[in-house]
Amino acid sequence: MKNLKNIGFTLLMMLSLASCKQENKEVTVEETKKGVVSEADLAKMQTASFTIEGMTCAMGCAKTIENKLAAQDGVGQAVVDFDTKIATVKFDAEKQSLESLTKTIEGVAGGDSYKVTESKKM
């Protein structure tokens, strides 16, 4: 029985460490199924930042929010930095707004986990 507890504890520790390793990688439309955004199109897009509370790890929380933002119509690029708790998004203002992007962030994981405490256009 003691060995079973040790094995269970070891597996739990390995799982928790593997799920929270840090990786800062920009997610662009090219990595989603929407298509390709050119550098010229990205340059024309507006940029906004969002301060997000409630994230507990880089690979689970931050990566999920990043992927949800990048998958939105009109979003050319999304980067979520777990350490600073800031999401930076390049978007087409004709298709998205600060309010719609905030709703996307706060709606991830059923809407109970994340809260945007500040948003601003840059």
Higher pLDDT: 37 or 52? It is 52
* CATH code that applies to domain 22-121: 3.30.70.100
Can you give the pTM of this predicted structure? 0.68
pLDDT at 11 over 60: no
Higher pLDDT: 9 or 62? It is 62
Mind listing the pLDDT tens digit for each residue in 64-112? Answer: 999 999 999 999 999 999 999 999 999 999 999 999 999 999 999 888 8
Mind listing the pLDDT tens digit for each residue in 18-43? Answer: 444 444 444 444 444 455 667 777 67
pLDDT at 50 over 80: yes
- In the chain, domain spans: 22-121
DSSP character for 62? I
